[in-house]
Chain A
Amino acid sequence: MTGGLQRVASTVLLVVVSFMLTALILWVSGYRVGTVLSGIIQGSITATGAATSTIRWTIPLLLIGLGVVIGFRAGFFNIGGQGQFYVGACSALVVSLGWREGPVPLVIMCGMIAAILAGMAWSLLPGYLRVQFGTDEVLTTLMMSFIGALVLQYLTAGPLRNPSGTGQTAASERIPEAFRITDSSGVSVTALLLVGGVAVLVWLLLERTRFGLTMTLVGRNPTMARWQGIDVRRVGLGTFALSGALSGLAGAVELHGPGARLVTGFSPEVGFTAVVVALVGMLSVWGTVVAAVFFGGLQSAILFLPIVTDLPPPALVLLHGMVAFLVTIKFRAVRRRRAGLAAKPVAG
Chain B
Amino acid sequence: MTVPSGPASAEVPAVRCRSLGVSFGTVQALHDISLDLAAGRIHALVGQNGAGKTTLAKVLGGLQAPDNGTVCIAGNQIPPGDVRAAKSAGLAMVHQHFSLPPSFTVAEALELTAARPESHSVYRRTELYRRWQNEVAEVGGTNVLATRIRDLPVETRQSLEIVRALVSEARILLLDEPTALLTPAATDTLFERLRGLRDDGVTILIVLHKLREVAAVADTVSVLRDGKLVLGPSEISGVSQGQLSDAIVGPAPDTDRAIAVEAATDVEQQLLLELVRVSSRESAFEPGLASIDLTVEAREIVGIAGVEGNGQRSLVSVIAGLSAVTEGSVLLGGEEVTRAPPARRRLRGLRLVPFDRNSEGISRSAPLWLNQSALRLIGRRRQFPLISLRQYKRQASEAMDLWRVRYNTVAQPAESLSGGNVQRLVLSRELASGLEVLVAAQPTRGLDFSATNFVRSSLRGLRDAGAGVLLVSSDLDELFELSDRLLVMYGGSIVARFNAPYDRQAVGDAMTGALR
Contact = CB atoms under 8 A, between A and B. Distances in A.
Interface residues of B, number: 36
A35 interface: no
Contacts of B373: 213
A207 interface: yes
Interface string B84-116: 000000000000000000110000000000000
B363 A224 contact: yes
B375 A227 contact: no
Interface in A184-224: 204, 207-211, 213-214, 216-217, 220-221, 223-224
Interface in A326-348: 338-342
B377 interface: yes
A214 B103 CA distance: 26
A209 B383 CA distance: 11
20 contacts: A208-B386, A208-B387, A210-B380, A213-B373, A216-B370, A217-B370, A221-B359, A221-B363, A221-B365, A224-B359, A224-B360, A225-B374, A226-B322, A228-B346, A229-B341, A229-B379, A230-B378, A340-B102, A341-B359, A342-B365
A209 B363 contact: no
Give the size range of A's interface with the partner. Answer: 20 to 34
A98 to B, nearest CB: 34
A231 interface: yes
Interface string B327-367: 00000000000000111111100001010000111111110
A211 B386 CA distance: 10
Contacts of A220: 363-366
A229 B378 contact: yes
Contacts of B346: 228-229
Closest A-B pairs by Cβ, 10 of them: A229-B346, A221-B363, A229-B343, A228-B374, A229-B342, A220-B363, A229-B378, A210-B377, A224-B363, A220-B366
A221 B410 CA distance: 19
A143 to B, nearest CB: 26
B352 A227 contact: yes
A217 B341 CA distance: 18
Interface in B280-334: 320, 322
B365 A339 contact: yes
Interface of B: 102-103, 150, 320, 322, 341-347, 352, 354, 359-366, 370, 373-380, 385-387, 389, 415
Given A227-B322, A229-B346, A230-B378, A204 B365 contact: no
B361 A209 contact: no
Nearest to B360: A227
A221 B150 contact: no
Contacts of A209: 385-387
A229 B345 contact: yes
Contacts of B377: 210, 213-214, 217, 228, 230
A207 B362 CA distance: 20
Contacts of A231: 341-343
B322 A221 contact: no
Contacts of B345: 229
A338 to B, nearest CB: 5
A211 B383 CA distance: 12
A214 B380 CA distance: 12
Contacts of A339: 102, 359, 364-365, 415
A210 B352 CA distance: 21
Contact of A216 (B360, B366, B389): B366
Interface string A279-292: 00000000000000
A213 B370 contact: yes
Contact of B378 (A204, A221, A228, A341): A228
A228 B425 CA distance: 14
